[in-house]
Structures are given as C-alpha cells and as structure tokens.
Structure 1
Amino acid sequence: MGIHYFTEEQVKELKQNPNVKSVSIKGITYHKHFKNHFLIEHAKGKLPRQIFIEAGFDDEVLGESRINNSSNRWRKQSKRLEGLNDTRQRNLGRPKTKHLTKDEIIERQRLEIEYLKQERELLLELERLERLAIKKEKLSPGKNMKSSKD
C-alpha cells in the first residue's frame, strides 16, 4: 500500500486513451466528458471498475485504490457549486490582486468600519456581563461557603 507510479510504457498506453487529458508517472487527469460519463453510468448502478474497463482502461494498471478514489472524488465534486470543473488552475499561489476603484475602496472600508463597530459593541457587552457576574459572586459569598462546608 503505497504510491503507485506508472512505468513509461503505461504512461504511453494511457496517453492513447481518449478519456485521458494528461498523464505522468504519478497521476492522471481525466477529461470532463469521461467524468460526466462515469457519474451517469455509476448512477445507473455500474461499478467504478466496470466503467473504467468499458472506457478502455486496464484496471490492473490503474489499481483499485486509484479507481475508487477517483469515483469518490468525482461524486463529491459533482455536488459542489463548481461541479467537475478543474479548480486547480484558479487556486494556485497567491490570489491575484485586483485594482479597485475609489468607490470599491470606500465600500470595503465602510464595511470594515461597520464590522469593527459591531466587534467593539460585543466586547463591551462581554465586559459588562463579566463585571456583573463578579459583582454577584462578591455579594453572595455565604452561598459558596455553605455549599463548600456541606
């Protein structure tokens, strides 16, 4: 149970499959049309292994864990807002900085000020409640002593 790398021959074989977008010795990227086909066939009751074999893949080359992991990943992705779209290209590295207009800058600052005001009000309320709890505790030390003597 470890990482299963492909041999150069297996990479060449996988590149010939029309369902493969790209392949390296470490992994495969499948075309979106194959992922959609997979989900449709899986919904009809076919097993993941069977779908891959019918699509021209050698299940011995891919391995059971790679097939099952792809199946689980695609089913989860299909429920996302982005669907099966590959989001890796958009999520690499630092976020791109956007040049904001003066109105956008003002709006962001206005929202930040509003947020900070609300945060300040919450902290003041917490301090007030803490002072109130301490005051109540000081006013009723007899109850605490009686319960500790019993």
Structure 2
Amino acid sequence: MSKDLFTSKEIEILSNNKYVKSVSMNSITYTDEFRLVFITEYEKGKIPNQIFQECGFDISIVGYKRIKAASHRWRSKFKDSGIDGIRDTRKGNSGRSSSKELSLEEKYERMKAKIKLLEVENELLKKLDLEERRLRKKK
C-alpha cells in the first residue's frame, strides 16, 4: 500500500474507469481483464505508463510508484504461474482447495510453472554444490 492517499475526487475518477474493480483511499484493485491487457501489451513492447494511459488512467492520480509496483508484481507472477498468477484470487479463496476439474490449458500452465520452479531450484542447488566444493578445496 502506498503512503499517498487518494482524495474523494480521485476515488470518484478512478472508480469510473472500467478496469477498476474497487478503489479506497489507500489502494486500487484492478480487474483481471486489465491485468491480462497489461501483460499482453507489455509483451508487445509498450511501457507500463503508456499502457495505463491508453487504458484511461490519469498517471498523475495513480502515481508512478504504484504503476511500477503493479507492473513488477504482475510480470513476476505471470512469469512464475502464467495467467493464473495474475488473477485476483481473493474472491474465491475460502481456504479449501478447489475440487473442479482443470481444463487442458490450465493443467498445461500449471505444469509449465512447476517446471520453471524446478529449473530455478536445480540451478540454486548447483550453485550451492559448487560453493561447497570451493570451500572444501580451500581447507
């Protein structure tokens, strides 16, 4: 959350944007649609400020720090978990795991994310092993 609070006028302006789910004095909750638009446009080469502006946001109200933070958060989550990573899961998180059957696309995205995680984990283990060998040689 940002230390910069929104005024009632700014809250009204932001809540009129179709890509805003909710807005309070402290924060903005963006729609899943906007997050997907953001990732798609970012991958096409647009910069975060340009994407926000093209989607009807007033940069002076939202603020550069909020845009930068949201951009970083969504890109890293998308990289790690695919589309599921950028969805707002608060609405459906009751604490119980979902018992619905996953589609092939969802299974594929989850497997890709799991593979990526395992690859990163392997690289970390290789680096640790190499470092341990170096320490043993010094003794």
2:90 to 79, 85, 88: 88
Aligned to 1:68: 68
Letter in 2 for 1:22: S
Aligned to 1:101: none
Give me the identity figure in percent: 41
Stretch of structure 1 that moved more, 9-18 or 69-78: 69-78
For the pair shown, the structure with the greater C-alpha radius of gyration is 1
Q: How many residues align?
A: 94
Aligned to 1:7: 7
Unaligned runs of 5+ in 1: 97-150
Looking at structure 2, the residues matched to 67 and 75 of structure 1 have their Cα atoms a distance apart, in angstroms, of 12
Secondary structure of the residue that 1:86 maps to in structure 2?
Answer: coil
Instruction: Compare relative contact order (CA 8 Å, sep 6+) and give the higher one, 1 or 2.
Output: 2
Aligned to 1:37: 37
Q: With structure 2 as the length reference, what TM-score do the two structures score?
A: 0.61
Question: Alignment RMSD, CA only?
Answer: 2.0
Q: With structure 1 as the length reference, what TM-score do the two structures score?
A: 0.57
Unaligned runs of 5+ in 2: 97-139
Looking at structure 2, the residues matched to 36 and 87 of structure 1 have their Cα atoms a distance apart, in angstroms, of 14
Q: After TM superposition, list the pairs within 5 Å mapping 1:1-150 onto structure 2.
A: 3-78=3-78, 79-80=80-81, 82-89=84-91, 95=95
- Residue by residue over 1:82-131, the C-alpha shift from the partner in whole angstroms, topping out at 9 and shown as x without a partner, is 32222334557xx56xxxxxxxxxxxxxxxxxxxxxxxxxxxxxxxxxxx
